[in-house]
Amino acid sequence: MEKDEITQKALPEHAFPVQELKALRESQGIELKDIFEATRITVVNLEAIESGRFGRLPAPVIARSFIRTYARTIGADEGKILERYNRFLAESQSPPPEEAPIPPKRRSFKKWIVTASCLLLALLIAAAVLMLREPAKAPSAPSVPAATAPPAAPVEPAAPAPAPLQAPAGTPVSPTAVPEPSASVPSPVPVQQAPKSQQPPPPAAATAATDGYALVIEARDYTWIRLSEDQSQPYQVLLKPGERLERRASRSFDIDVGNAGGTLLTFQGKALGSLGAPGQVVHLRLP
C-alpha cells in the first residue's frame, strides 16, 4: 500500500485520471471541440482538466466552474475531479521553509527607499524655491508693452485737424465747428464690435456626437470574461472582485461569462439583472 501511494504522489500534477476521463469521453464519441462549442470553454482549459494539469487553469472559482461543466458534459463524477483539484491547491499553496533569511535584505531595501525619498524631497523643495523666485521677475516684463499700446490712438485726430481750419475764411463764427471732431470719435466704436462676431464658433465646436453601444462589466467575485466587439477577434479577461471593465461598440457585443452569479452587466446605462447561478457559464449577444 505504501508503494502505491508513493507512485501516485510521484505523478506530475495529478496526471493519473487522464486515461479514465479521456476513455469515458471517447467512448461517447465526444471530441474536445464539441465541448468547446457547447460550453465555450477553451480547448486549452479542457485539456488541462482532462490531463490533470491543474496549474494551467485560471483562478480557483473559474476553474471549479470549468471542471463541473466538463464533468456534466461527459457524464463523469465531478466530485472526484474536484477532490483532486482541491488536493492540488493544498499542495501548491504550502509555504517553502527556506525563505527565513530574507528579512535582512528587506531592511536594507527599506533603508534605500528612505534615502531615495529624502533626495526626492530635497529636489522638490529646491524646484519649488526656484519656481517661487521666477514669478516675481516675470510681471516686470509685461508692464512695458502695456504702456506702449495707448500711443497708437492719437493717429486719428491728425487727419481731420486741417479740414476745419480752412473752412472759416470770412467770419469768426467758425470756432463753433470745433464739436465736429467729437463726431469722428465714434468711428472706432464699430471696430470694437468685430471681436463679438468671433464668439459663436466655440459653442458649435462643443457639440459632440455620441453613437454606438456602451457596456460595463462589474465583478462581484472572480470572473472569467471572453469578449468581442463588432465580431472582432475575441479576447479573454480575468476580473477580480470589485474590478470593472468598460467597452464600446458600434454594432454588437459577444460575451462569454464564466461566473454568471458573480458578474453584473450594465448595457446602455441599464443593469441586466441576474445572469445565472454562481459558477455557471453564460453566452450573451448584445443588443
- Contact between 73 and 46 under an 8 Å Cβ cutoff? The reply is no
Cell numbers linked to 36: 468547446
Number of H helices, E strands in the chain: 12, 8
- Contact between 255 and 245 under an 8 Å Cβ cutoff? The reply is no
Residue 272: pLDDT over 80: yes
Tell me how far apart the alpha carbons of residues 62 and 39 are, in angstroms, rounded to a whole number. Answer: 13
Helix (H, G, I), strand (E, B) or coil at 236: strand
Who's near 69: CB < 8 A, 6+ residues apart? 39, 41, 281
Task: Tell me how crowded residue 195 is: count the other CB atoms within 10 A of its CB.
Answer: 8
Residue 226: pLDDT over 90: yes
Q: Is this prediction's pTM over 0.85?
A: no
Q: Residue count of the chain, please give it.
A: 287
Write down the pLDDT at residue 20.
84
Tell me how far apart the alpha carbons of residues 174 and 166 are, in angstroms, rounded to a whole number. Answer: 10
Residue % of the chain over a pLDDT of 70: 61
Tell me how far apart the alpha carbons of residues 254 and 283 are, in angstroms, rounded to a whole number. Answer: 8
At 61, the pLDDT band (50, 70, 90 cuts) reads very high
At 206, the pLDDT band (50, 70, 90 cuts) reads very low
Please, what is the angle between helix 43-51 and helix 60-74, to 10°?
80
Convert 26-48 to b/e letters by CB count within 10 Å (16 or more is b): eeeeeebeebeeebbbbeebbeb
- Contact between 180 and 164 under an 8 Å Cβ cutoff? The reply is yes
Write down the pLDDT at residue 154.
47
At 165, the pLDDT band (50, 70, 90 cuts) reads very low
Residue 19: pLDDT over 90: no
Residue 214: pLDDT over 90: yes
Write down the pLDDT at residue 100.
56
- Mean pLDDT calculated for residue range 249-256: 93
Residue 260: pLDDT over 90: no
Tell me how far apart the alpha carbons of residues 108 and 112 are, in angstroms, rounded to a whole number. Answer: 6
Who's near 129: CB < 8 A, 6+ residues apart? none
Task: Decide which of 1.10.260.40, 1.20.140.10, 1.10.8.590, 1.10.10.60 is the CATH code for 8-92.
Answer: 1.10.260.40
Q: Which amino acid is at 15?
A: A
Q: Which residues pair with 246 in a beta bridge?
A: 216
Residue 148: pLDDT over 90: no
Cell numbers linked to 279: 459558477
